[in-house]
Structures are given as C-alpha cells and as structure tokens.
Amino acid sequence: MTHFCWWFVEILSRMLEPDERDAVRGDLAESGATGGQALRDVMGLVVRRQAALRKDWHPWLALAGLVGVAGVLLSEIAFQFDAAIDLQVRTYWRHGVHFGTGLSVGEDVVYLVCLFLGLFSWLWVSGFVLGSLSGRATWLTGTLFCLVVQSSYILRLLLPRGLTLPGAQLWALVLHMLRTSIPILPFLLAAIWGMNRGAQLRALRFQQVVLLAAIIVVLTSLVTWTTGWYETVRVTWSEGAWHAIPWPRRLLPLATVSWPVAYMLATSSWRRWHESKGEER
C-alpha cells in the first residue's frame, strides 16, 4: 500500500510547476512523511493549484472554442475519413476491387491523402493552442478535447435524444467506438503532440506561424476542392435530382476548425509589432 501511495504522489506531483514540484519532493524527503501523509499533502496542494487556475479566462476560452466548437466539427470530419477508409479496405479485402465511388482510384487516393494531412494539421494546431492557453490545466481540457474528437459525432449518430440502452447494447456501443477509434488514433496523437509543445513553448516564432498558416490554407483549399469531385459525381448519377453543395458551404466547417492558426497568426503578429515598437523606443 505504501508503494502505491508514493507512486500516486509521483503522478500527482507532475501536475505542479517544475520548481514547486522539486521543492515539494525535497520537503517530503526531509520530513520523513509516510506514503499516506505525502499523498494527502500533495493532493491538497494540487487541488488548490487547479482551483486557482479556474480563475484564469484562458482555459475557459480553450474549453469553449476548441473543445466545444473545433472538437465537434473535427469529430465529424474524422468520421468521414474513417468511413471512407473502412469502405475501401473492406471492399478490397472481400472482393479485391476498388469501391466504386464514381471517381478513379487516383482521385480517391488524392482526396484521402489531402483529408489525412488536413486532419493531422488541424488537430496539431488545435492541440498547440489548447496547450498554450490551458497551461497546467491541459490535462483536463486536453482529455475533454480528445474525447470529443473521438466520440462526439458517433454518439450524435447512435444516441437519439432520450434513448436509453440496455447493458448489452451499451457494451456493443462501447466496442464499436473503440473499433472506430483506430483510424483516428494518428490524429489524436497529433493533438497530444501539439498540446505538449503548446504547454512547453506557449508560442512559435513568427516565421514558423506564417509557414504553418500557409500549410493550413493550402490543405483546407485542397480538401474543399476534392470534396467537390464527389458532388459532381452525385449530380451526374442522380441525373440532376441531387443539388451539389456549393463550395462556400463545404469550406465553412473547414475554415471554422482552422481558427486556431488564425489566432496564432494574430497573436504572433501583435507580439512582433509590440517588440518592434519597443526596439524603436
């Protein structure tokens, strides 16, 4: 039991700032506290520090803008990628042919590659801004963000309002969510990578932000363009009964999930302007 308490103390102390963490560990070593006493003291300190963080508006901005808006839209986009990959893989595995989307194999590959790179970039940037705004609260906002990206769209599809599931169906739903999370795993890792970098660096150099913004703009444009191929095919197949979704409507959700890089560009530009003014004085 003592070993477990000290192991948990080690985990909890990582939620403190490095200087404070080292001081706490030194105090515990000098005091000769038992595992239970150390756990109680460190847990109390962590709770007080986390409560103080809630008074800052930055984690709340991250929670609302990234978890509540970008996370929900990214979950839907990631589900579309998952469904497209799953359909192609299952068709080729069972029948040895490409699933007929109305496009050539090359066009389908281009679309999936653009969507993969776009999702990876959007989630890395979202993770970076989340870590930068949240600081020590990243463990909470980051966990919520990953859960929203992984599960929110599937829950919206499978759980109509007011629906209650028996135990067997609920377990089947959990298994389905775990299975569908496998193709999304690279994107969640990209978000976690971005969170770690954001919490450590807090900001990138202006040139890095400009390059990142250019990449996001290019990928967003490519995904908007390639999704138009499928709209053209649907119009052809339906003999005009299907009305193609215009590109501004296809662009809107992609531009919305790109807002973190716009935020990075705005803050980086302001910081550079402020520094130049300081040098002039």
Summarised one tens digit per residue, pLDDT across range 200-215 is: 888 899 999 999 999 9
Q: Which of 27-41, 183-197, 238-252, 257-271 has the lowest mean pLDDT?
A: 27-41
In the structure encoding, which two tokens stand for residue 118, read together? 């776009």
Same structural domain, 149 and 94 = yes
Same structural domain, 26 and 146 = no
- Band of pLDDT at residue 170, cut at 50, 70 and 90: low
User: How many other β-carbons are positioned within 10 Å of the β-carbon of residue 25?
Assistant: 16
- CA distance linking residue 125 with residue 66, whole number of Å: 10
- CA distance linking residue 165 with residue 19, whole number of Å: 48
Same structural domain, 49 and 99 = no
In the structure encoding, which two tokens stand for residue 188, read together? 């969640």
Same structural domain, 168 and 108 = yes
- CA distance linking residue 202 with residue 8, whole number of Å: 28
Same structural domain, 157 and 215 = yes
Same structural domain, 183 and 274 = yes
Number of domains in the chain: 2
Tell me which residue range forms the domain holding 26: 2-53
Same structural domain, 49 and 134 = no
Q: Which of 13, 17, 121 is nearest to 129 (CA)?
A: 121
Same structural domain, 110 and 235 = yes
Same structural domain, 78 and 43 = no
Same structural domain, 33 and 125 = no
Same structural domain, 248 and 182 = yes
Length of the chain: 281
Are the C-beta atoms of residues 100 and 236 closer than 8 Å to each other? no
pLDDT at 12: 62
